[in-house]
Chain A
Amino acid sequence: MIKIAKRQYHVQSGESITVSVQATGTVHLVNSDLDGLDGGPLTADESLTFKVTNQTRTLTLLFTFSNNSGGEYEVTIKGDQGGEDTDTVDQGSFGIPATSAEYRFQL
């Protein structure tokens, strides 16, 4: 897995991607959606693993903040062919309750 832009990765066909999220300053409240077809809550002690075979895959994560300030999520993305990236999604300074980010894995 090679990072080609912010939240965008070039992966090998058949490569397995593992995504995990750590929360700071908030209850761990993360939901996932993979290609609009699959998804569910992603808890602190589990990771999400999927394969990229013959088409681009898009993972959308919804980050909910339980507090009015200071929440932050660190998303760690690893490919089983090598390569790792982290993306930090913070709450900013204005007490937003939630935000989202899309991660693209293309061949």
Chain B
Amino acid sequence: MKSKVISALLIFVFIVPGGIAFGQEPQSELSVAQLEAIIEKMEAVDRDPATTPEVRKHNSQFLKEARERLHKLKGNVSSLQQYLTNFKAVLTPAQVQQVEAAIRNLQRDSSKTSTAITRDAESNGNLSATVTEPVIETNSGPAAAAVSNSTTADGPALASPAVATAQPSLPVSASAALMRTTPASVNVPVQDFPDPQDCTAYAASPASFSLYEKYVCDLIQRTQSNKATPGNKLIELDGPQGFNLVVILMAQKLRSTFLVDAEETRVDKQVGGASSNAGSTSLVIKGGTPAILGLAVENGALEREIDGTTLTFRGNPVGLIDALRNKGFISSFEDDSPSTRLLRKTSFAFSFDTSRGDEPGVFTARKQQLSSVSGRIEFINKRDPRHKSYRTDWENFLATNAQAFLGALVQFKGVLSEVVPGTGVGAIPAQFRYKDQALQDWLVRTDAAIAGAAPGNVETVMKAQLAKLPIDELSEATIASLTNVARQFGVFIEGRQRILDRVAKGTIATFEYTNKREVTAPDTSNFMGIYETAFGKNVDFTFNGALTLFNKLPSGPNAKRLRDFQFAGQLDFPFGDVNGAGQFVLSASGKYERLMQFASPDTGAVLPDAEGDIAIGQVKLMIPIKGLGIRLPLSLTFANRTELIKEKEVRGNFGLTFDLDTLFAKFKPF
């Protein structure tokens, strides 16, 4: 029912302005100019951001059929015209007339097919109507329309200047006619290939993007870049854009799952503060760090009895400096010098306890609220694909998967496209074009549409054009070669991913120093080793070993510099649909702490005789809020005692964490 309404709406939009009613008998033909006018109007509907997806879908189908008709019409007419041009001198007048008549007849036939077919409303869910004849209505009124429909004695006139310059109301019932151009098209379901996501959403949720969507967005980005650079061709078939289009063709035509499904996410980033901070939901510290700045605001309490709010800023110096230099998130990774690489292995963190200071509960960022400062360096990171451990894997990948794919790609491009040679002498560059005429026509139209689009509208226009890729008009040879290159690309992607999966399970070993600033009790220094690895399909294991020293020897009998030592372990199990709600992470962790002497709560008091063993277990569920870079951690903690009270405790915590990498990139993606 809905589609009927939409179709009726389209017909209304196209027909009413022309003043044409259903039920009339066809009387004249659609000319090339008329068809082009139809297409132009439909393209305008397609480009209009206000067009609803339902209308766009139907309009795209009609548009495709219109183009098919136009293409056929032009091809047939032009071949006969070319024949006439080449042989007119040697043909007799009767033969010339015969060819001219054939041209006119072809045009008539082409139009007739458009008016003859009635779609079965029940089986196709669309309208059922008798198709009427298009009338071009100009500003001059019916007289001009009459001109546009004029025929010669031998048949309809080819597009006349009057027709070409007319501003036709959309050809009318032609739009309905176009839906039923051929019986074959009637039975073809409306293209249901999913529309690619908004490219600006990538930064916030990269894992939800399929390979297809990544290549669509890459094509758009490169096209935008070319459009902004005078002298550049908008779409270069011999460069990355040509590669993008190959992948897009593969995805649209073959719909392989490896191209249209999204990938997995990583789970090794530590955004929240350390477990010793008030209100932390993290029992175990993880090895990775956000590249620019992670801001974690966590509420609740874990090891201490005092509820509070801790804000932790954790960052990477290189990323932060780049950000301050107003570099884009992505380009900030371009500097790869050895010193920069070393700096990338380091990170820092500042934690502020907002329960402290003159205005408790308000984050002032004053010194009184600064509860800890920490620095971290990774000394082993086998989660970097450049690590020497993977060299042999990459070499094998290049020699087999990658080279086979390149061979298939080169072969496919030989089938798909051709080169109009240039000459070096005249410095005339070669031109690249698609061999399939429908594809080449699409390229020309796309180039024109992009050229005419406002810079901010390139994404919309390109996506609209990609929805019109003539994938059903590819030649058999093209499809066979496309299938082959897609198979090789699948092997290539799988081979690359196999190595990256190994990388993702690599070991990270990190050392972290934290200076914890107490209100009145002695400040402490914590030295922690962090070891992270993975096993099984996707299980991440993290181990922490740490000891804490008082910065100054406390006063009192039997006072020692060693405050405590502790060990902790955590297992992370990611699960869930990254394409849907996002990926959840279920964590189970345990911690043992030996408190050597007194405890020192934030009130500044010193509690003697607090020494003893503390065992803590925790189950945590990290709930993603897709697209916002925000995660909601929920945890349940069991402890035999706390540092301050020697009694069992069960506590639930919740929090909110932000990954500013995501937010930063959302606002400045390039």
B-binding residues in A (CB < 8 A): 2, 4-11, 24-27, 29-33, 36, 39-41, 56, 60, 62, 64, 66-70, 72, 89, 92-102, 104, 106-107
Contact = CB atoms under 8 A, between A and B. Distances in A.
A101 B336 contact: no
B333 interface: yes
A6 B407 CA distance: 23
B91 interface: no
A27 B239 contact: no
B218 A10 contact: no
A44 B500 CA distance: 20
Contacts of A94: 199, 202, 206, 209, 213-215, 217-218, 221
Interface string B381-402: 0000110001000110111001
Contact of A4 (B240, B405, B406, B429): B429
A17 to B, nearest CB: 13
6 contacts: A5-B429, A6-B236, A11-B424, A29-B394, A30-B398, A31-B402
Contacts, number: 158
B585 to A, nearest CB: 19
B486 interface: no
Shortest 3 CB-CB distances between A and B: which pairs?
A10-B424, A70-B333, A5-B429
A46 to B, nearest CB: 13
Contacts of B409: 60, 62, 100
B334 interface: yes
Given A27-B390, A94-B214, A107-B424, 8 more contacts: A26-B386, A29-B397, A39-B406, A56-B421, A92-B221, A93-B217, A96-B211, A106-B423
Contacts of A29: 394, 397-398, 402
A27 B336 CA distance: 12
Contact of A31 (B403, B422, B499): B403
B549 interface: no
B222 A100 contact: no
A62 B336 contact: no
A25 to B, nearest CB: 5
Interface in B209-231: 209, 211, 213-215, 217-218, 221-222
Contacts of A97: 211, 493, 496
Given A8-B430, A72-B334, A93-B670, A27 B386 contact: yes
Interface string B177-206: 000000000000000000000010011001
Contacts of A99: 218, 240, 243-244
A95 B425 contact: no
A50 B394 CA distance: 25
Given A94-B209, A99-B243, A39 B394 contact: no
B372 to A, nearest CB: 31
A8 B426 CA distance: 13
B627 interface: no
Contacts of B97: none
A2 B218 contact: no
A27 B394 contact: yes
* Chain B interface, >50% SS class: helix
A62 B406 contact: yes
Contact of B403 (A41, A69, A72): A41
B492 A92 contact: no
B336 A7 contact: no
Contacts of B406: 31-33, 39, 60, 62, 100
Interface of B: 199, 202-203, 206, 209, 211, 213-215, 217-218, 221-222, 232-233, 236, 238-240, 242-244, 330, 333-334, 336, 385-386, 390, 394-395, 397-399, 402-403, 405-407, 409-411, 413-414, 419, 421-425, 427-430, 492-493, 496, 499-500, 669-670
Contacts of A93: 202-203, 217-218, 221, 330, 669-670
Among A26, A31, A72, residue most surrounded by chain B Cβ atoms (within 10 Å)? A31
A92 B222 contact: yes
Contacts of A64: 397-398, 402, 492, 496
Contacts of A4: 422, 424, 427-429
Given A99-B240, A100-B409, A67 B385 contact: yes
B398 A31 contact: yes
B429 to A, nearest CB: 3
A43 to B, nearest CB: 8
Contacts of B202: 93-95
Given A5-B429, A6-B232, A95 B206 contact: yes
Contacts of A8: 422, 429-430
A95 B665 CA distance: 13
B203 to A, nearest CB: 8
Contacts of A32: 406
Contacts of A95: 202, 206, 209, 214
B290 to A, nearest CB: 13
B613 to A, nearest CB: 43
B402 A62 contact: yes
B334 A41 contact: no
Nearest to A40: B403
Nearest to A92: B218
A60 B410 contact: yes
Contacts of A67: 385
Contacts of A26: 385-386
A25 B332 CA distance: 11
Contact of B330 (A60, A70, A100): A70
A62 B495 CA distance: 15
Contacts of B492: 64, 98
A32 B397 CA distance: 14
A104 B431 CA distance: 11
A104 to B, nearest CB: 6
Given A29-B398, A101-B239, A102-B238, A96 B215 contact: yes
B263 to A, nearest CB: 9
A106 B419 CA distance: 12
Nearest to B387: A27
B206 A68 contact: yes
A7 to B, nearest CB: 6
Given A7-B239, A66-B500, A25 B407 contact: no
B239 A6 contact: yes
